[in-house]
């Protein structure tokens, strides 16, 4: 049976000031009426029952996520006691799935990606789960065919073709870290590299065994947590054992070492919505290459993103601006040149150092 695991613990600092510690990116409606996590859950509708959807987040977000997802059983929204990267998150989810369904298949995905073609996505998931059913030792990931030489994504190099009736599927030759621009250009030209989507399919018991092999200390803590599932001491054991884990990403812990790993060329559109410039792709641009959202007025403004999040009558007006991002919320306004967008996280760091916690 399929179990959807949605990783929703990120802070979304690159989306400040809209994204805050208590209301990060995954809880925001970035491009429409649905929040990102609501859209992620809806994308799995029909593939598995709601009681098989598990959200793994941090404890400060559990209540808000339950409010946004009232159809998901409250016990299926689990708060990690502390931040420990994606491998412990995956291990914890796998222990929960294995306790409920010994042969369960996990579909693991982030909570903050945009995939508009739900039919193509679900078809690809069914294809991947079938491949895992055929060979339970397989673990699969989805690769995104690159459209430009991105330096913000990890890459997957494909190997031999795996004959299937579904989307193109390959053995993974190797994983590559985020490249510099010259290397990314070489990857694009070569044509055998994919962006790493961070969406995975595997059997719960397979990933648990992989963690036991490659991360035995982490796996020991996960196994202890697993033994406490359903007992009165679960919360106490989870808190103690999870704090003792040394965090590491699932890519480094397992994906780069395990065999066999397969990559499915994603037949669906995908955007990781990594920063504010993603709005240009998702919302579109006008004749002056501006992306405009909310109550705003522009004069001689080109290639800008202007977003006014509040419906309070306040007008955001720009004159003579070019290549800038302007984001206005109820209590903060961001103005940044596009070339410095990566430095938005420096604002968050400065707020932390000055203890301006009301803006975090």
C-alpha 272/C-alpha 10 separation (Å) is 13
60 φ, ψ (degrees, to nearest 5): -75, -10
C-alpha 171/C-alpha 192 separation (Å) is 12
CATH number for the region 2-265 comes to 3.90.550.10
What would the two tokens of residue 75 be?
A: 């016990």
C-alpha 15/C-alpha 23 separation (Å) is 11
Q: Binning pLDDT at 50, 70 and 90, where does residue 31 land?
A: confident
Mean pLDDT taken over the chain: 95
What's the whole-number mean pLDDT along residues 292-308? 96
Residue 69's closest CA among 136, 6, 20, 146? Answer: 6
pLDDT > 90? residue 37: yes
Query: What's the N-to-C CA distance of the chain in angstroms?
Result: 40
pLDDT > 90? residue 287: yes
What's the whole-number mean pLDDT along residues 69-88? 95
Q: What is the pLDDT of residue 165?
A: 87
What would the two tokens of residue 250 be?
A: 């699932």
Q: Domain ranges in the chain?
A: 2-265, 278-359
273-292 b/e with 16+ CB inside 10 Å = b?
bbbbebbbeeeeeeeeebbb
pTM across the whole model: 0.93
C-beta atoms surrounding 210 within 10 Å: 24
C-alpha 318/C-alpha 312 separation (Å) is 18
Secondary structure letter of residue 100 according to DSSP? H
Q: What is the pLDDT of residue 325?
A: 97
What's the whole-number mean pLDDT along residues 295-305? 97
pLDDT > 90? residue 42: yes
CB-count burial class (<10 Å; 0-12, 13-18, 19+) for 67: exposed
In residues, how long is the chain? 360
What's the whole-number mean pLDDT along residues 262-280? 93
pLDDT tens-digit profile of 229-243?
A: 999 999 999 999 999
166-180 b/e with 16+ CB inside 10 Å = b?
ebebbebeebbeebe
pLDDT > 90? residue 35: yes
Q: What is the pLDDT of residue 86?
A: 95
Q: Binning pLDDT at 50, 70 and 90, where does residue 32 land?
A: confident
Give long-range contacts, CB 8 A cutoff, 24+ apart: 35-39: 35/68, 36/111, 36/112, 36/113, 36/114, 36/273, 37/6, 37/8, 37/65, 37/68, 37/69, 37/111, 37/112, 38/68, 38/69, 39/114
Contact 115, 270 (CB under 8 A): yes
Helix (H/G/I), strand (E/B), else coil: 172: strand
C-alpha 215/C-alpha 248 separation (Å) is 10
Q: What is the pLDDT of residue 12?
A: 83
Q: Binning pLDDT at 50, 70 and 90, where does residue 10 land?
A: confident
287 φ, ψ (degrees, to nearest 5): -65, -20
CB-count burial class (<10 Å; 0-12, 13-18, 19+) for 123: middle
Residue 178's closest CA among 149, 158, 201? Answer: 149
What's the whole-number mean pLDDT along residues 19-35? 90
């Amino acid at each position: 049976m399929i179990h959807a695991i949605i990783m929703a613990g990120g802070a979304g600092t690159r989306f400040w000031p809209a994204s805050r510690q208590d209301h990060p990116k995954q809880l925001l409606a970035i491009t429409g009426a649905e929040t990102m996590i609501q859209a992620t859950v809806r994308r799995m509708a029909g593939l598995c029952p709601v009681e098989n959807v598990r959200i793994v987040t941090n404890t400060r977000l559990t209540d808000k996520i339950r409010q946004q997802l009232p159809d998901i059983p409250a016990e299926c929204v689990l708060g990690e006691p502390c931040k420990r990267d994606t491998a412990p998150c995956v291990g914890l989810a796998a222990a929960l799935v294995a306790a409920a369904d010994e042969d369960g298949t996990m579909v693991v995905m982030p909570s903050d990606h945009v995939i508009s073609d739900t039919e193509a996505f679900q078809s690809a998931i069914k294809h991947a789960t079938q491949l895992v059913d055929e060979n339970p030792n397989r673990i699969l990931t989805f690769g995104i065919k690159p459209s430009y030489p991105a330096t913000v994504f990890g890459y997957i190099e494909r190997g031999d073709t795996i004959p299937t009736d579904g989307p193109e599927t390959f053995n993974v030759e190797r994983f590559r870290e985020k490249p510099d621009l010259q290397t990314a250009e070489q990857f694009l030209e070569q044509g055998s590299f994919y962006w790493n989507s961070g969406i995975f399919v595997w059997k719960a018991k397979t990933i648990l065994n992989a963690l036991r092999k490659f991360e035995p200390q982490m796996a020991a803590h996960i196994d202890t947590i697993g033994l406490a599932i359903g007992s009165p001491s679960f919360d106490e054991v989870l808190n103690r054992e999870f704090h003792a884990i040394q965090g590491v990403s699932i890519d480094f812990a397992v994906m780069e070492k395990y065999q066999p790993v397969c990559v499915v060329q994603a037949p669906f559109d995908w955007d990781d919505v990594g920063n504010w410039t993603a709005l240009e792709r998702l919302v579109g641009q006008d004749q002056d290459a501006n992306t405009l959202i909310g109550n705003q007025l522009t004069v001689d403004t080109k290639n800008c993103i202007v977003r006014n999040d509040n419906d309070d009558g306040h007008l955001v007006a720009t004159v003579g601006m070019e290549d800038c991002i302007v984001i206005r919320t109820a209590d903060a306004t961001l103005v940044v040149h596009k070339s410095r967008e990566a430095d938005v996280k420096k604002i968050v760091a400065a707020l932390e150092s000055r203890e301006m916690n009301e803006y975090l």
